[in-house]
């Protein structure tokens, strides 16, 4: 991580589809999260926020995983918490 970045909770992974993670957000103000770096509970960089959709109060977030993460690695992230830098 970069020096003075603050980690903000994003939500929990619900689904994995086409090398993307679908996350149910915690209600974070997601207006400015597009293209933010996403990290896992163990502080590994997973990917970037690709899209935000759904209800205004608890939107879903699509995360495009980085190319170095294989399908098995993505499947291990199901039901895990994600955060953004």
Residue 1 in domain: no
CATH number for 54: 2.40.10.230
Residue 35 in domain: yes
Residue 13 in domain: yes
Please state the domain count of the chain. Answer: 1
The parent domain of residue 56 ranges over: 8-84
- pLDDT score, position 58: 84
Query: What's the predicted TM-score (pTM) here?
Result: 0.86
- pLDDT score, position 31: 67
SS3 assignment for the chain = CCCCCCCEEEEEEEEEECCEEEEEECCCCHHHCCCCEEECCCCCEEEEEEEEECCCCCCEEEEEECCCCCHHHHHCCCCCEEEEC
The tens place of each residue's pLDDT in the chain, 85 residues long, gives 454 568 888 999 999 999 999 999 887 666 678 899 999 999 999 999 999 998 888 899 999 999 999 989 999 999 999 999 8
């Amino acid at each position: 991580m970069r020096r003075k970045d603050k980690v903000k909770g994003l939500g929990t992974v619900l689904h994995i589809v086409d090398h993307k993670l679908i996350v149910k957000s915690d209600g974070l103000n997601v207006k400015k999260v597009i293209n933010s770096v996403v990290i896992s509970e163990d502080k590994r960089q997973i990917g970037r926020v690709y899209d935000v959709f759904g209800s205004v109060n608890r939107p879903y977030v699509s995360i495009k995983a980085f190319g170095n993460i294989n399908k098995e690695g993505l499947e291990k992230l199901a039901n895990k918490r994600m955060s953004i830098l």
